[in-house]
Amino acid sequence: MSTKITTATPPTEYNKEQGCNRNTDFCVDVKTILRNDSIAAIGKNYTGELTRDSEDHYTFLETLPPKVYKRNPHVYVGKYITITRRDDGRLQPNFKPLKMDANFSATTYARGVANELLWGLSGLIEKEAAK
């Protein structure tokens, strides 16, 4: 919190204004169960669950971070298109942004897209058939 409370508002009223409940428990034991560190490092944030076991005892269990994975991975990347594999296994061709400058030719663009579709899909279909 970057600002100090300088009003005469009692702490319970301030907590209600902020939408949270603040409590300070003195002289309690906290058991930490950490994944990598043997003791909690100063200034490091840990994600986990805090459980009150008894009147003066808490247990903190560090949880694993959520798994990060790419939802629709690229299976073909070309100059004009990309092909991604959807969660259900379908292949999805996607057009890259069209750059229309002085040298743009619709015929060249259409041939490039057609060739990349042919190369990308034929390579992927051959791989699927070999499985």
Q: How far apart are the first and last CA of the chain?
A: 58
Render pLDDT for 25-43 as a digit per residue (tens, 0 to 9): 888 899 999 998 999 999 9
Predicted TM-score (pTM) above 0.85: no
Provide the b/e sequence for 89-125 (b: ≥16 CB within 10 Å).
eeeebeeeeeeeeeeeeeeeeeeebeebbeebeeeee
In sequence order, the 6+-apart residues with CB closer than 8 A to the CB of 93 are 81, 82, 83, 117, 120, 121
pLDDT bracket for residue 56 (50, 70, 90): confident
With a pLDDT cut of 70, the percent of the chain lying above it is 81
CA separation for the pair 23, 98 (Å, rounded) = 58
**List of E strands, the chain:** 29-33, 48-54, 57-62, 74-77, 81-85, 91-95
- Mean pLDDT, the chain, rounded, equals 83
Domain extents in the chain? 25-65, 74-130
Token pair in block for residue 94? 């996607």
- The pairing of beta strand 57-62 with beta strand 29-33: parallel
